[in-house]
Amino acid sequence: MTLPFAIIAGLTVGSAIAAMSLRNLVHCALSLVLTFAGLAGLYLQLNAEFVGFTQILVYVGAVSILIVFAILLTRSTEPKDEPATVTPWIGIAVAISAFLTMALAVLASPVGKRAASPMGEVSVKTLGQKLMTDYVLPLEVMALLLTAAMLGAVIIAMKDKEGSR
């Protein structure tokens, strides 16, 4: 385990914990952004530059903004909005047991010890070519999904506005 990895991983996990545990929702969202950025750093370490920068562009630039807007629009910034849950321990227990299971599996598996094979830079050109050849069907489906999601989001938000008038 190298030092950069340790720093980034620690940052990612720590901010993820903060994102799930802070009272103020905007603070949660901001911690979440830090998690996303940390993940992008991990991707870069894994030589996945394209995915790493896409992660920043999409998550930091778009998804987090959406979340923040939703928080503001639903007036959830005030902590009073959220009463303490009745049974937080059940959820936490489930999560811890799940983690233990996975960690045991990972540590036991021989795959985990595998070292990375040397490789050249991933060219964006090849990635694009693959998208247009091998993965053209998923790409089309994705385009359809995005269009549908956009239309759906717009219609959901619009219908209610008219209904309230």
Partner 1 sequence: MTPLSGYLLVSALLFCIGLAGALTRRNAIMVLIGIELMLNAANLNFIAFWRFSENPETMTGLMFAVFSIAIAAAEAAVGLALIITIYRHFRTANVDQVEEMKG
Partner 2 sequence: MAELFAKLDALPVTLKHLLMGLLPGATPEWLVSVVSAVLTITPILAVFPLMFALTTVIERKGLGRIQNRIGPNRVGIPLTDIRLYGFGQFIADGIKSLIKEDVVPRAADKVVHFLAPIALLIPVLLTYSVLPFGKSMVPLDLPQTGLLFFFAVGASTELSVFMAGWSSRNKYSLLGAMRAIAQMVSYEIPLILSSLTVVMITGTLSLTAIVQSQSGVHFGFLHNWHLFTPWGLVGFFLFLTAAAAEANRTPFDLPEAESEIIAGYFTEYSGFKFAIFFLAEYLGLFAMCGLGITLFLGGWLPPLNIAPLTWIPSWCWFLGKLSALIVLFIWLRGTLPRLRTDQLMAFAWKFLLPMTLINLVVAALWYLLRDSLPLYARWPLCFAMLAVPYWLLGRGFEAKFTKREYRYA
Partner 3 sequence: MDAPANRTVQSVGQGREGELLEVAMGPQHPSTHGVFRMDVVLDGETVVKLKPVFGYLHRNHEKIAENTSYLGSMPYTDRLDYFCSLSNNWAYALSVEKLAGLQVPERAEYIRLITAELTRVLNHTCLAGFLLQDMGALGTPLMYAFREREKILDLIESLTGARMMCNYMRFGGCRCDLPPGWLDEAKKVVAEYPKFLDEFDALLSGNEILMARTQGVGKLSAELAISAGITGPMLRASGVDYDLRKVDNYGIYSRYPFRVPLGDHGDVYDRYMIRMLEMRESLKILEPALNDIPDGPVVDPKAKLRGFRPKPGEAYGRIESPKGELGFHLISDGSPNPYRYRVRPPSLINLTILEDMCLGQTIADAVITLGSVDIVLGEVDR
- Residue 39: name the closest of 66, 62, 8 by CA: 8
Residues 6+ apart with CB under 8 A from 75: 81
In one-letter notation, the amino acid at residue 133 is T
With contact defined as beta carbons under 8 Å apart, do 119 and 47 qualify?
A: yes
Query: Could you say whether residue 18 binds partner 2 (CB under 8 A)?
Result: no
Minimum gap (Å) between residue 58 Cβ and partner 1: 5
Applying CB under 8 A, does 57 fall inside the site for partner 2? Answer: yes
Asked whether 88 and 20 are in contact (CB, 8 A), the reply is no
153 binding partner (options partner 1, partner 3, partner 2, none; Cβ < 5 to 8 Å by kind): partner 1
123 near partner 2, judged by CB under 8 A: yes
Helix count (H) and strand count (E) of the chain? Answer: 7, 0
Confirm or reject binding of residue 121 to partner 2 (CB under 8 A): yes
Query: Does residue 53 interact with partner 2 by CB under 8 A?
Result: yes
- Residue 164 makes contact with partner 3 by CB under 8 A: yes
Asked if 1 touches partner 3 (CB under 8 A), the answer is no
Amino acid letter for position 131: L
Closer to partner 2 by CB, 91 or 128: give it.
Answer: 128
- Per CB under 8 A, does 73 bind partner 3? yes
User: Which position among 92, 102, 124, 150 is part of the footprint of partner 2 (CB under 8 A)?
Assistant: 124
CA atoms within a 13 Å half-sphere pointing along the CA-CB vector of 116: 7
